[in-house]
Chain A
């Protein structure tokens, strides 16, 4: 491998990070307020006045990389899982490497996965979507049928209700990928569900829909008809290309702003009924147990939330003192993000961050806060506000009203401690 690594592999490990500090000339020993001035990376043989190999020889021709991949130097930018979290990889989750991404679109190959019985591999010719129940005419659609109907393009976030669920009782995962990585933000192409329901004709007593996947979990959720008619999409493309198998190829439903468990993948059947089904994913799971032993159900909407993605434990400050950029994402299931504030001192004082790039309804936004770091210890936090006036609460505020048994819907403010050496860790503070 190359010798000019930026030490990406060290991102998670305290041991290797300290090792790196020593390599930079014992910076860690300089003490608080004297952050190291980073050494320039690279192999001198490739740096001026020398001319590197790639400036002298021919590289791969066109179509050698028929479906392009990231540079080999980005091989660490991958979905990762937490082995101890689940009993098997077929019913588990992998996390988006948020700390390595910028802008608002999640690349398809990095979108977090949550499967209940592994990835169903459907042949698109054998794909069928059935709509039946309280309709005038039960219908069957092929993939080609769906593509003949008027379609639309929308950017939406999909966040697992269990995102940050491991943090309810305190700081646990020392990586933004694992504290917040059960989210992705994608442009979907699809047919409004309303079009299909009108095609079948709804009976007057229709109130609920059952969504069912074609995987061997036959994943189901009950969806209120009102939401179905409002903004749900029957999607067959993500970021322009076909859905990936792990994201529901060839067809999934988008339920904008609502917990991603409802975004049933490999969608095979929609039954129209007059009451909810109370299936496993809306009773045993995805209900929020409170301190008094009672449980909130049908908690569909994802509350406004944000997180600083860089710096974070996997992407520490490597540059020493001076001008720098804090970068993060914010989103709300209730509409558009209106504002994001950032604090450097653990919530004593806040400044409003700069939202950059498009602001869509129920989509991530990207925010930045630039500042001149003098090398002092920082307690970085971000706080999202949405267009309804909802303000992202602190973790303590959330625990006061929900206790610590909820598992789901933890949207509390995240704290990253930045040490004088630039190391970042997940902490809880008072």
Chain B
């Protein structure tokens, strides 16, 4: 490196160092408050001139980012809520949806939502949730019908996402709900108006996380350290006996 270039870099470092020192004074130290930030639109020079005054006010705007246009939001805002917010316009029946389902969905989910291979089972499983072989389907487990239309609209068909809209979307969802006996008339029309009235049976069986109350016993002050269990350890089960662990050499190929 030439001597003159070295000096130039040193000078630059001195200038940058001075500026960042000023900024550091006006920012809170990094700690429990990640929201601490330097004093907004103030230039480093101004901050340095009046560091005490520049201490961050409650609401600082950096003026970074631009306003999102309504048409931009409309293109990406595809979510649907249980109260119907976000439902796209359209209407459909299970009768119309059956053919669409067979061509677009049945390869993975089976003609009746019973699943082909290991893809998700969509229908059935009623009364199985408290057994040791629970089958969690839209009809047996899901709390809200809106989740079906939201998910199909955003993520299905697998590999051709966001391709279903309008009447086709409502028709396929109607057919899936029909497979689950949520609607029983093949000609019942679902639309953005009527959809919020569709209710699923299992909604009441969900409750919010209560572990800090129901599992309070796990907050132990002094866990046992000596002679905690009587007798020698007895093996109850071994992974090896089940023998489903992939072996080395059968992993994904690497370059």
Contacts and interface: CB of A to CB of B under 8 A. Distances in A.
Instruction: Summarize B's interface: helix, strand, loop or mixed.
Output: loop
Contacts of A392: 218
Contacts of B62: 148-149, 195, 199
Contacts, number: 286
A271 B77 contact: yes
Given A293-B130, A350-B225, A13 B209 contact: no
Contact of B64 (A81, A149, A278, A345): A149
Interface string A279-304: 11001100101011111111111010
A173 interface: yes
Given A152-B30, A275-B83, A218 B206 contact: no
A393 B234 contact: no
Name the residue among B61, B64, B236, B238 with the largest chain A CB count within 10 angstroms.
B64
B192 interface: no
B64 A173 contact: no
Contacts of B161: 117, 216-218
Interface of B: 27, 30, 34-38, 59-62, 64-69, 72-73, 76-83, 85, 108, 117-119, 129-130, 132, 134, 136, 138, 141-144, 146-147, 150-151, 154-155, 158-159, 161-162, 205-211, 214-215, 217-221, 223-229, 233-240, 242, 244-249, 251-252, 254
Interface stretch (A27-35, A54-62, A82-90, A316-324): A82-90
Contact of A140 (B66, B141, B225): B66
Interface stretch (A41-49, A239-247, A422-430): A422-430
A283 B73 contact: no
Contact of A82 (B79, B235, B240, B246): B246
Contacts of B210: 296
B159 A277 contact: no
A287 B218 contact: no
A427 B237 contact: yes
Contact of B67 (A139, A149, A425): A139
A76 interface: yes
Contacts of B118: 86-87
Nearest to B73: A132
B218 A397 contact: yes
Contacts of A148: 62, 64
Contact of B235 (A10, A140, A275, A429): A429
B30 A199 contact: no
Question: Which interface class (under 10, 10 to 19, 20 to 34, 35 or more) fits A?
Answer: 35 or more
A383 B218 CA distance: 12
A83 B246 contact: yes
B254 to A, nearest CB: 6
Nearest to B115: A87
Nearest to B138: A284
A187 B159 CA distance: 33
Nearest to B251: A80
Given A132-B73, A148-B64, A172 B242 contact: yes
